[in-house]
Amino acid sequence: MTEGENRTDIDFALHVHPIYGAIVGTVTDAATGQPLPRAYVQVDYRQDSADYAIRRFAWWPYYQITDDQGAFVFESLPEGSYKLSVYTNGAFAWYPDALVEEMAAPVDVVGGRKSEANFALTLRQSGTATISGQVRAEHGFVATEGDARPGNVRLEAVLDEYIPEIAVVMAKPAVTIMLWPDSEQFYTAVTDPDGRYTLKGLPDGEYYLSSFAPGHMLQYYKETFDPAEAVLVKVEAGQVITGIDFTLRANPWYFMKEGDAAGRNALNAIISGTVNDENGQGIAGAAVYLLDGSGQPVTWATADENGRFEIMGIANGPYYLQAGKLGYATTFNGNASSREATTPLIAANGLTEVNITLPPARSTGVDVRVLPDKVALLGNYPNPFNPETSIHFSLPSPMQVTLAIYDRLGRRVRQLHTGALPEGEHRLHWDGRSEQGETMTSGIYFYRLSTPAGIRTGKMVLMK
């Protein structure tokens, strides 16, 4: 430009990049290809996906119910990676077909686009017994359609007993001889619009039954939140058991005291932490309950694949934490064995970090004095590794040991050892190859140590 010259045609065209996307998919029967309607599909909340001021009031976990064609859609998801799981009559899976969260594949959401995630489920009906009942809720919130966008919901308070829109019922065998991840399997059913469910195809045996619904806490039969207090349901071949009912308690996302705004508690407290086993490994799927001063649960969270949990939007005040999972002893904050043996946490504005260690559960039908209880899985080194690593563990007494390697889909890659080993420390070497001698590709692998004292799992990364 020359001195004194004016230009008026310097324009810019800005292209706004959308920050929200969608996940769409279908749920079908892997054997027949037929759609599975009324399946419950859940997308796990991503803790860093939204500002705290917004996310503490959000309806999480976000869920959808498949239509008559087995289709579902999640709209308005912020960009990022998500994990999906699905429950239906006779099957459960993490996307795409994993038995446990550690082996699930994330679904990436890109702004302005639809990501596809289809499930093909293998129905699990390996017996002839049946358990049925009804799931109700004592009070809480009903999810109703919000605006015109699919998947949007708003909450309507219900103060009397009612039927949740959908509920999931699970039956986990009290005894299993399978190795991980197959040992984590359970039988599933979803309720019909009247709240009724039927668990079909159960083999002989005793089962822990539990149920949850959107906006309601996981509860074990019979009316307990502690798996150690659950009443086992026993079935025999061809038997039909009815009347196994649940009345669920609402899981409010925030709590306020009565009174005007000045008299209400702030909702800025967060309690987070990790649930570990005795070897420091995170326990995926552990249920963590926030209890009031009288020991009644007011909300809950589920530990992720690393054992991490977060409970947000808590009113300031004293609380207890209770963590548990089938196969472990229920434990309270301070690693106490009972609520009476610990002191309450004081939740205040900001973050409170609480870690809990769960010891193995004890079976009342076995003389525990003959079972070793100090088996330690000490990790692998190096980790990450290429191409070899050593897995280190210790035994307090001679015992039978199985150590196997699995890929992220739960397929056994290599069995390193099965048989008796003496007491003391052991290191078993893995050369990064399969049973057939094939070199494994880069990725996440799991090693599973099985002994009479329990099962312990570690995670390692082969990085080339």
Number of residues that make up the chain: 464
Composition of the chain by helix, strand, coil, percent to 5: 5, 50, 45
pLDDT for 457 beyond 80? yes
Q: What angle do CA 219, 225, 228 make, to 5 degrees?
A: 115
> Do residues 253 and 313 make contact, with C-beta atoms less than 8 angstroms apart?
yes
Query: For 107-156, what is each residue's pLDDT tens digit?
Result: 999 999 999 999 999 999 889 999 999 999 987 655 555 544 444 455 56
> Distance between CA 347 and CA 392 in Å, rounded?
39
Structure tokens at 213: 């619904």
Confidence band, pLDDT 50/70/90 cuts, at residue 275:
very high
Query: For 293-306, what is each residue's pLDDT tens digit?
Result: 889 898 899 998 88
pLDDT confidence of residue 262: 43
> Distance between CA 4 and CA 10 in Å, rounded?
16
Bridging pattern class, strands 20-29 and 119-121: parallel
> Distance between CA 300 and CA 289 in Å, rounded?
4
Structural domains of the chain in order of their starting residue, each with its CATH number:
20-121 (2.60.40.10), 129-248 (2.60.40.1120), 261-357 (2.60.40.10), 370-462 (2.60.40.4070)
Q: What percent of the chain has pLDDT over 70?
A: 85
Query: For 60-112, what is each residue's pLDDT tens digit?
Result: 558 999 999 999 999 988 888 999 999 999 999 999 998 888 888 899 999 99
Confidence band, pLDDT 50/70/90 cuts, at residue 371:
very low
3-state secondary structure of 185: coil
Phi/psi of residue 253, each to 5°? Answer: -80, -20
Task: Look at residues 359, 339, 222, 341 and name the one whose alpha carbon lies nearest to residue 283.
Answer: 359
**Average pLDDT of span 280-290:** 91
pLDDT confidence of residue 143: 54
Which is more confidently placed, 175 or 52? 175
3-state secondary structure of 434: coil
> Distance between CA 33 and CA 41 in Å, rounded?
18
Task: Look at residues 426, 406, 425 and name the one whose alpha carbon lies nearest to residue 414.
Answer: 406
Confidence band, pLDDT 50/70/90 cuts, at residue 397:
confident
pLDDT for 255 beyond 90? no
Query: For 305-337, what is each residue's pLDDT tens digit?
Result: 889 999 887 888 899 999 999 889 999 999 999
pLDDT confidence of residue 181: 75
pLDDT confidence of residue 425: 85
3-state secondary structure of 227: helix
> Distance between CA 338 and CA 409 in Å, rounded?
37
pLDDT confidence of residue 51: 43
pLDDT for 365 beyond 90? no
> Distance between CA 365 and CA 205 in Å, rounded?
15
Confidence band, pLDDT 50/70/90 cuts, at residue 177:
low
